[in-house]
Chains A and B, each alone.
Chain A
Amino acid sequence: MTVDPASFPLVERGRQYEDFADGDTYEHHSGRTITDGDATLFAALTLSYNPLYFNAERARGEGHPDLVVHPMLALCTVVGLSVEDLSEAGGPFLGIDDVTFHRPVYPGDTLSARSVVVDRRESGKRPGDGIVTWHTQGHNQRGELVVELRRTNLVRKREAA
């Protein structure tokens, strides 16, 4: 038995270059509660051997209330949450700049992400692509800024698709 996928209309995802205008703001979907399982798994798989990320007693001894969530996990999660709105249609990272870790994240904290379009231009090298830069911020459940960054991607143009 087979199915004919073409008989089901595709639910498209992802934006293209023409969909972005300077100043456009996105409040990204979901939010993400970082569990202690997430925190330990991430730190272990990336071999990030600072005891603040693995040893709650050591972390408390340094004045934290609990394990510290690896700041790279906070960054990855905030960027991850932004992908659906900004870059899911494809186009590689060109770079990330101005990453600031403003305050620690602890297991149980819930991160949410928002982005603003800060620059868009044609690609000189790749006529089918544009280049878009976003300023993305991650906040915790108290609305405190946790991490921010500027991300630049190649983004496909619609006429080239």
Chain B
Amino acid sequence: MTYFEDFAVGDRMRHFRGSTIHEVEGQLLAKLVMNSAQGHFNEDFMAKTPFGQRIVFGLITASTVIGLATQDTAEDAIAELGLERIRFRSPVVHGDTVYAATEVLETSPAPDRPDAGVVRFKHWGFKPDCTVVFEGERTVLLKRRNPLDQENA
């Protein structure tokens, strides 16, 4: 279980699992979510560009990095609230392996929810050579282990 009280500003963690992004994570998910840009699924088309091969849809990279961080940050989250400052620092291609690291940026009470709190995380996604592929902030609503008294909420 991950509770609101488990996180303090400045906490850092590197998540145990990485994920190699192949056809099923890259082009399959790009097609599944209706991304019609053939740069994600037409190898012939991309071979004629400076990239030389298909590029993984950035939001699939983002989803993978957030996924790799989920068990340690939000396994029992009540809700994902939002994202900020999503940046794709270098392209991911099929065959690349992505790892995730996280820092806690902010913890705050949840308006109207004495049983919960809000944590803002910064996530990084990186390849084995440490090249950053993704950065972004994510805000999550987490249960409290010890709910606040109503008057303190």
Q: Report A's interface with B, CB cutoff 8 A.
A: 13, 30, 32, 38, 41-43, 45-52, 62, 70-73, 75-77, 79-81, 83-84, 87-88, 90, 92-101, 104, 149
Specify which of A72, A96, A100 is in contact with B81 (CB 8 Å cutoff): A100
7 pairs of A and B residues whose beta carbons are closest in the complex: A46-B67, A80-B33, A99-B83, A80-B34, A96-B86, A80-B35, A76-B33
Q: How many A-B residue pairs have CB under 8 A?
A: 118
Q: Which residues of A contact B70 (CB under 8 A)?
A: 47-50
Interface contact B87-A95, CB-CB below 8 Å = yes
B positions within 8 Å CB-CB of A: 17, 19, 24-25, 28-30, 32-37, 39, 57-60, 62-64, 66-68, 70-71, 74-88, 91, 136
Q: Which of B32, B34, B79 has the most CB of A within 10 A?
A: B34
Identify which of B34, B35, B39, B63 contacts A46 (C-beta below 8 A): B63
Which residue of chain B lies nearest to A13 when distances are taken between CB atoms in the complex? B36
Interface of A, helix, strand, loop or mixed by DSSP: mixed
Cβ of A79 and Cβ of B75 under 8 Å apart? no
Complex CA gap A90/B91 in Å reads 14
Docked pose: A81 CA to B34 CA in angstroms: 6
Task: Compute how far the CA of A43 lies from the CA of B32 in the bound complex, rounded to whole angstroms.
Answer: 13
Q: Is the CB of A48 within 8 A of B63?
A: yes
The distance in angstroms between the C-alpha atoms of A13 and B25, with both chains bound, is: 25
